[in-house]
């Protein structure tokens, strides 16, 4: 049984509101996935705050046609499409998808859209390979800590060198 016009308009409005809070959308071909596998994917993504949305390509096309930020997605709208709506820790969500894909081997990443640009499969996978936010913060903190230690040692060494120099001169004059 088909959907009513009002139902379709409600879906489009829901998609538009979801896209306002999203930083990136990855488009996958989910053909062959069972309901249980799709639920597994959604559960894996939920841990990172991502959403897997399955909707008709036509409805998604209508939802993004007036939004320049998401218009590049239209090149990926073909066949059976599922949309991974990502925000926050994008890398973690993409890693969760990649782990699911390794297990199921039934989905295919078509590409993605971020900041108004279409991303290829390789570009989306490169984002997934980036270190997590926590890892980056730890690396920056380690670098700052190392620099502070070097500065402290350098500042301490100046008076020590001066004292050794004065001592050496006084010993030379005493002899």
How far apart, in whole angstroms, are the C-alpha atoms of residue 81 and residue 116? 19
pTM listed for this prediction: 0.70
Quick one: what percent of the chain has pLDDT higher than 90? 0
Q: For residue 2, what pLDDT is reported?
A: 59
How far apart, in whole angstroms, are the C-alpha atoms of residue 154 and residue 101? 52
Quick one: what percent of the chain has pLDDT higher than 70? 98
For the chain, what are the domain ranges?
5-130, 131-175
Q: Is the pLDDT of residue 106 over 60?
A: yes
Q: For residue 5, what pLDDT is reported?
A: 85
Q: Kindly state which CATH superfamily the domain 5-130 is placed in.
A: Ribosomal protein L10, N-terminal RNA-binding domain (3.30.70.1730)
Q: For residue 1, what pLDDT is reported?
A: 40
Q: Across the chain, what does the average pLDDT equal?
A: 84
How far apart, in whole angstroms, are the C-alpha atoms of residue 51 and residue 46? 6
């Amino acid at each position: 049984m088909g959907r009513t016009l009002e139902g379709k308009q409600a879906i489009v409005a829901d998609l538009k509101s979801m896209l306002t809070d999203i930083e990136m959308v990855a488009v996958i071909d989910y053909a062959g996935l069972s309901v249980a596998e799709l639920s597994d994917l959604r559960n894996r993504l939920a841990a990172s705050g991502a959403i897997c949305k399955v909707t008709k390509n036509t409805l998604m096309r209508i939802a993004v046609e007036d939004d320049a930020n998401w218009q590049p997605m239209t090149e990926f709208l073909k066949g059976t499409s599922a949309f991974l709506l990502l925000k926050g820790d994008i890398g973690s969500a993409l890693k969760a998808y990649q782990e699911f894909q390794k297990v199921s081997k039934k989905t295919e990443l078509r590409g993605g859209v971020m900041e108004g640009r279409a991303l290829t499969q390789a570009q989306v996978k490169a984002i997934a390979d980036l270190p997590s936010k926590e890892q980056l913060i730890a690396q920056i903190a380690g670098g700052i800590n190392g620099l502070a230690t070097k500065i402290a040692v350098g500042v301490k060494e100046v008076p020590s060198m001066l004292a050794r120099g004065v001592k050496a001169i006084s010993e030379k004059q005493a002899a």
